Every structure is written in structure tokens, then in C-alpha cells.
A and B are shown apart, each in its own frame.
Chain A
Amino acid sequence: MFNQVEFASWSGLITLIAFLVSFSVFVTVVVGAMRCSKQKVRHLAEMPLGEEKRS
């Protein structure tokens, strides 16, 4: 398990690329959230407030 390939400089590069990919997807969904219509947002926000019958 521990006796494998030597750690090299590529790990730093992969970190940056992975971060960029993650950050890009994050920005995409956040922009999507910001552009969500008011009607849709209101519908979603009020979802927990529905009533139910109890007996």
C-alpha cells in the first residue's frame, strides 16, 4: 500500500485544475440560482408551509 510511485509536482497541478472545475460548476449553479424566477422561488420557499389533516 505504501510502496508505490513517488509523489511529484503533478499533484499541485491537479489540485488547481480540480479546484477550477469545482469552482466553475459552483459558479454555474449559483448564477442559475440567482436567475431563478420569482414565481418559482416563492413556490419553493413555501413548500414546508403546507397543511395536513390529523386524526
Chain B
Amino acid sequence: MKTKTIEYNDLVVRQFLIASVFWALVAMLIGVLIASQLAFHVLNFDTSWLTFGRLRPLHTNAAIFAFVGNMIFCGVYHSTQRLVRTRLASDFLSHLHFWGWQLIIVGAAITLPLGLSRGKEYAELIWPLNIGVVFIWVVFAINFFWTLAIRNEKSLYVAIWFYIATIITVAMLYITNHLQIPTSLLHSYPIFGGVQDALVQWWYGHNAVAFFLTTPILGIMYYYMPKAAERPVYSYRLSIVHFWSLVFVYIWAGPHHLLNTALPEWLQTLGMIFSVMLWAPSWGGMLNGLLTLRGAWNKVRTDPVLKFFAAGVTFYGMATFEGPLMAIRSVNAVSHYSDWTVGHVHGGTLGWNSFMAAGMFYWLAPRLWNTKLFSTKLADIHFWLGMLGILLYIASMWVSGITQGLMLNAVTPEGALAYPNFLEVVNSTQAMLRMRILGGVLFLVGMVLMAYNLYRTIRSGHPAVASIEVQVPEEPPKESLTLLGGFLNPPVIYSFLLVIFGAGWGFAQGMLSTISLVLLVETALIAMIHMGVSGQKWSEWYDKLLESWLPFTVLTFLAVAAGGMIQILPTVFIKQTAGADAPLQKVYTPLELAGRDIYVREGCYNCHSQMIRSLVGDVLRYGKSGRLTESVYDFPYQWGSKRTGPDLQRVGGKYPNIWHFQHMMDPRSTSIGSVMPNYPWLYTQVTDIPALSSKIRVLTSYGVPFPPRSPADIRQSCIDQGQRITEDLASGGIKISPDKEIIALIAYLQQLGKYDDPTAAPAASAAPDISAAPANQKQAKSH
């Protein structure tokens, strides 16, 4: 053995800390602005790049990937070096990671307000940036795993497990949900459409919350809470159970974002059950975090770090109680598409992510700059402002969301809608929307105080050089398990055979079932005798696994991939056009396709859904519930997740062209009390017809049956359809050129809910058929 001094690379840790604080302020400032826009529509300023639909994706992406992303990298790089007692493997990769990630964020900050969007929530960035994200994530992964490979500590602490799960699962989710074919340098279509796209999107969206906003923060909790409390985690065994439970359960719960929709029923049930199962591991983890403070509760009163951690973990418990509750189908009928979801999400991001970040930053900054925190008092004020802000925010969104859900679903004893005018619901929640702004402002002020406090702390110190002395063997130690040895060993092989024979016994018929039972018993006996004679213990494999990062990583990947694939594959292979009783979506004309891309560009999906649920309130208000076959040509799908405005799935033909024309110019002129922005630029900007050839070619390659057309035919088709709309508008005294974007958007909106078979086309709200609800479920069952 020889003694070696290890000097940690804390430069990159300091860089990520500063970047995280900066982007937090940006994300939350935009958050306050867009919250204000929902209460005061004039704050959209009639300016394209300042409208809600374009800024909301910027807010979510900045909060998730810029603020929390940088915070994760800061915590992971700092704690991993200490836990494995070695310096980060590569200074170059660390630099590349930091600057590459900031470049992507700047790219997003420029492109999203310009309307360059893929139209999928939390996955809006355009394809060149997607490639950048994957590249930088791979750089992160190489740097991290390389560091594990050269570590000077044999065991892997549970925080490292959470980091491993984060890295591999986010890579899998991100790549799958961003499979796409470009139509130009700045535009692409996802390869999945309709229900497939919806499922892949929410498999990604849900697990982005799980594996980007939760598991890495749990790793950070398991490292920094013991550190700050100066005592080990309450139960290390419980942390192991917490980890494996989350990994095995979380990945299955994605379909709860699509309850009561056209998604097959078995998937909805799967999502709901696994969501409810999440209660146990989440609360186990929360209690483990809180109980780590045993004997240190007096410090919580005076130490802002512990104060933030204790509150952050409590919010984790709250959010993870609320999430499964909202995933129960009957609760979801009220909460979905409403402000309740917004309140839930912010309980997690503000309460859990931001408070954990604040606790970590207040703990780290004095140590990274070798000084003391500038002001504990200021940190305390930050805490109470933040706490008050969160409570105002989520309480107002609960009230608003439950009000919306109840009013929109309310039916009179005669069977009619109790509140038929959607705007009545919008206006009833205005006071809550204003209270939400106050909550957001308070939270933002708290974050500004934190930024100032950290700035003064950094100014008062200097970058610290941290080091440790470690005893290292002359020869580099070997991993306890090789990749192959991790899986080809008696305990794993016997366990695998037992599961296979058990499944055969349970599910096979006749003789096969009997043979499986015999083999099951025989395998169990052989395993016991073999292990007994050879003196091997079943736990040996597990003990070695915990010291071997590569087999461990592969096992974690298999666990998350299995759950994901089971949800995704059956739906990818489904024949969506198979429903004999269901109308098939009409193929878009070139002008309608152009209009759809404008709809996506303006982020209309942020406020309007295109999925009528199989609920009485929905069917009465919007018409027959949505079917799988009605969005097969939608790349990307546009079912939405929030109804600030009404559902648009069957809006086609409901209003005349002139109504849409006036509505987009000034929504208040047709809908008194609307909070929708004005879209004046649609009346001056020209539709991008030349881009359509490439777009249609890509969609045709996906199987959309566009009739063969030359670029000249496409142009002519657009002009012809545009002229029909402008002639109709002219009869109402409006003169406009057919090549303007508003005409394309009207063409798109007017075809929503149109089908190839007119006899099967469901009527709009004029003649609702409530029987559609069970019919839809029957269709799903019949699959």
C-alpha cells in the first residue's frame, strides 16, 4: 500500500453552482411573467416571442434542465469525488460538460421564443439541440463512470446508485422520445404519431420527473443530509429498499398522464396501480431522510441548511402523496387538465427541488470558497419567503384546479352541463391566478436573496483546494464482478430459471403447466443442494454487485428498460386503424398541415387539449370521446395536458371562418373574458409553403397516405384552399391574402374532428352521445 494525496476537481463544481443559481433566477422570472399573462392578457404585449405559448416551454425547460440540471451536476460531481475518494477522471470532459450544457441552454433560450419547437412538453427543443443534449449527456456519463472505474473506495454508497440510475435512464428516455426525422435544419417530425406518440411522450415526461427531478436529488439528499446533520443516514438498509423500489416501480407509472383518454384500458390500469404502489417507497425515502435528523432537530431551528433540507424532504413526501392520489382514475377526472396539476408540479419543483438546491448551495458555497456564509439571517428570510410563496402558490392552484374540475364536470339533474360556458369557469378562478402570482413573486424574491447571499459569500473567500490522503494498493484493485460474471453465476441463473418455470406453471395450459411445475421444484432442490455443497451463499453475489459498477449499471438498466418496453411495445405494434366502429382521421391537405405546424409553433397545446375524455362532462361539452384512430396522422400528437381554454378535438365546423379570424386577432371580441393572447403577426406573416414538400415527404415515409403531389401541386393546393377561405371571409367584409398564416391556421382548425367516413363522423356538442364513454372503453378492451 502507498499513500497518495488526491486533490479534488472543484472548479467544475463551482461553475455548475453559479450557473444553477443564475438559471434559477431566469426560469423563475419567466415563470412569474407567464403566470401574470394568464391573469392579465395584455402582458403578452401582442409580440410573438413574448406570448404565453412560446414562453411556457422556455420556463419549464429552463427550470428543469438549466436550474435543476446544473444543480444536479454540481452535487453529483462534488459528492461522487468524495464518496469514491478520487478526482474526477477527466478535467477536459468536465469542462466540455459544463460549457456544452450552457451552450445548449442558450440555444434553447433563443429558439423557443422564436417558435422553434417540437411541440412536445419538456421535449420542445429542436433536433440540433437534441443531438447536443445527447452528446453532452454521453460526456457526463463517460466522465462519471470513468471516475467510478478509477475509484479508491471499494464500496458504492447509495447516492452513487441513484446517480447511475439517473444517467442511464435519462439517456434511454431522452433518446426514445426524440427519435425524429428532420424536414429542415430547424424542423423535424417525431417518428411516433397519435397514441404512440402520446404514450412515448408521457413515458418520457413522467420519468423525466422521476429520473431527472427525483432520483439525482435523492442521491444528493443521501449525501448532504448526513453531512449537514453530522450523523449517518437513519437506515442504510431502508435506503437500499428505497432505491430498488423506485427503480422497479416508477418507470411503469407513465400512463397515469393519459387516464380516461383513448389509451387502451389495460395501460391506464397499469399506470394507475403502479402509481399507487409508489406511495410506499417514496414515503420510505422521505422518512429515512427526516429521521436522519434524529437528535439534530435543535439544529434545524438555527441552521438554514438543515431547515431547507427538512422542508424540502417534507415537500417530497407531500408531492409523492399527491401524485399517486391524482393518478387514481376518479380523482384524475377532476384534477387532469386543471390547475391542480400545476400546483402539484410546483409543490415538487419549488418545494422539493428548489429547497434541496438551496440547502445544498448554502452548505457548499462556504466550503468551496473557504469562507463563512455571508448572512445566516438572510438565508432564514429566504427560507420563510420561499415557504410562504410555495404555500400561496400551491394552495391557490389547488382551489383553482378543484374549482375547474368540479365546474367542468358538473351536470344538472336533467342531464345538461351545469356550466356550459367555458369562460364562466375561467373567470371563476381569476382571484386564485392572482394569488399564484403573489406566491411566485415571493419565491423569486427569496431566490434573489439567496443569489445575493451567495455572491457576498463568494466575494469574501477564495476558491478552496480540497484534498485527502488515501491508501492505495501498488496494483490497481480489480472489480469484484466482471460484466459477464455479474449475470452468469449460480444465484442469478437459478433465480431466472425459477421465475421462468413459475411463470410457465402459472400461465401455460395442460401438460406444459405440469412440466413447468416439476421443473420448478427440481430446480429449487438442485439450487439448494448445489449452493449447500459448494458453500456458496446467495448473498455473496449481491455483496459483490454492490462493489461492481458495471454489472450494477446493467442490472439497473434492465430494470427500467423492462418496465418501459412493456408499456411502449404493444402500443407501437398496435394496428391503430383496426377499430371497425371508429372513424379514421382525414389526411391533412398541404394548407392544413401548414396550419398545424403554426399551431405547434405557437404552443397552442399549452392551453388547449385535443382529446375528449370518456367522461360525461367532456362528452356533453365537446362531443364523442376521442378514439385511437382519430389522431393517427398527428406527428406530434397534440392531446395536451392543460385546458386553460376549451378542448379543440371537434372544433372544426363549429364556428364560421370569420369567427376564427376575429378570435385570433382579438379573442375578447368573440369570447368575453378570454385570457388568450392576440396573434396579430399571423395576419402579416406569409405561410411557409416551400417547406411543405419536405414535410410531406417525411410524413409519407411514416405511412401517412398523402396523395402524390409535386411542389407546384402543393402550392396550387394551398392557394386553392386559401382562396376558398378568403372568399368566405370577403363575404363578411374582410379582405386578406390567401397566403397569410391566419388562413392556414383557420384551414387546420376547421378540419379538426373531420373524418373520411361522414356517416361515422361524430357530431360536435350539438348532439352528444354519452354512450361513447363505455364504447371507447369497450374498444380498448376488445384490443
Contact = CB atoms under 8 A, between A and B. Distances in A.
A22 B503 contact: no
A15 B559 contact: no
Nearest to A13: B507
Contacts of B8: 52
8 contacts: A2-B194, A7-B570, A24-B495, A24-B498, A28-B495, A45-B233, A47-B83, A52-B82
A7 B562 contact: no
A7 B230 contact: no
A51 to B, nearest CB: 8
Nearest to A55: B465
A20 B568 CA distance: 18
A54 B370 contact: yes
A15 to B, nearest CB: 6
Nearest to A29: B244
B493 to A, nearest CB: 12
B237 A4 contact: no
Contacts, number: 158
A40 to B, nearest CB: 7
Interface in A1-31: 1-8, 11-18, 20-26, 28-30
Give the interface size class of chain A: 35 or more
B542 A1 contact: no
Instruction: List 9 tightest A-B contacts by C-beta distance, closest first.
Output: A32-B542, A33-B240, A45-B232, A11-B570, A45-B236, A7-B574, A7-B783, A47-B157, A18-B566
Given A14-B570, A33-B237, A48 B157 contact: yes
Contacts of A6: 574-575, 578
B542 A49 contact: no
B94 interface: no
A22 B542 CA distance: 16
Contacts of A5: 573, 575
B424 interface: no
Contacts of A33: 237, 240-241, 244, 542
Interface string B265-288: 010001000000000000000000
B270 A15 contact: yes
A43 to B, nearest CB: 7
Interface string B428-465: 00000000000000000000000000000000000011
B236 A15 contact: no
Contact of B244 (A26, A36, A41): A26
Contacts of B193: 1-2
Contacts of B367: 54
Contact of A3 (B499, B507, B577): B577
Contact of A7 (B158, B236, B264, B563): B264
Taking each of A45, A46, A47, A51, which has the highest tally of chain B beta carbons within 10 Å of its own beta carbon?
Answer: A47
B537 to A, nearest CB: 9
Given A36-B240, A48-B223, A52-B467, 18 more contacts: A1-B702, A2-B193, A2-B576, A7-B573, A13-B507, A17-B507, A18-B563, A25-B555, A30-B241, A36-B237, A36-B539, A36-B543, A45-B232, A47-B83, A49-B227, A53-B468, A54-B370, A54-B465
Interface of B: 8, 79, 82-83, 85, 153, 155, 157-159, 191-194, 196, 222-224, 226-227, 230-233, 236-237, 240-241, 244-245, 248, 264, 266, 270, 367, 370, 464-468, 491, 495, 498-499, 502-503, 507, 538-539, 542-543, 555, 559, 562-563, 566, 570-578, 632, 702-703, 783
Contact of B155 (A2, A44, A48): A44
B502 A18 contact: no
A20 B506 CA distance: 11
Taking each of A3, A7, A50, which has the highest tally of chain B beta carbons within 10 Å of its own beta carbon?
Answer: A7
B575 A1 contact: no
A7 B575 contact: yes
Nearest to A46: B232
A52 B81 CA distance: 11
A11 to B, nearest CB: 4
Interface of A: 1-8, 11-18, 20-26, 28-30, 32-36, 40-55
Contacts of B570: 7, 11, 14
Nearest to B498: A24
Taking each of B79, B232, B502, which has the highest tally of chain A beta carbons within 10 Å of its own beta carbon?
Answer: B232
A4 B577 CA distance: 9
Nearest to A37: B543
A36 B231 CA distance: 20
A28 B238 CA distance: 15
A35 to B, nearest CB: 5
A29 B191 contact: no
B79 A48 contact: yes
A55 B468 CA distance: 12
A44 B266 contact: no
Contacts of B578: 6-7
A24 B192 CA distance: 32
Given A18-B562, A52-B82, A4 B232 contact: no
Contact of A41 (B236, B539, B542): B236
A29 B502 CA distance: 19
A2 to B, nearest CB: 5
A55 to B, nearest CB: 5
A48 B466 contact: no
Contacts of B155: 40, 43-44, 47
A25 to B, nearest CB: 7
Contacts of B507: 13, 16-17
A18 B251 CA distance: 13
Contact of A12 (B159, B266, B466): B266
A42 B464 CA distance: 30
Contacts of A29: 240, 244, 542
A43 B79 CA distance: 17
Contact of B83 (A26, A32, A48): A48
A38 to B, nearest CB: 10
A49 B237 contact: no
A45 B83 CA distance: 11
A22 B574 contact: no
A22 B563 contact: yes
A5 B572 CA distance: 9
A48 B79 CA distance: 8
B432 to A, nearest CB: 40
B418 to A, nearest CB: 38
B468 A52 contact: yes
A32 to B, nearest CB: 3
Contacts of B192: 1
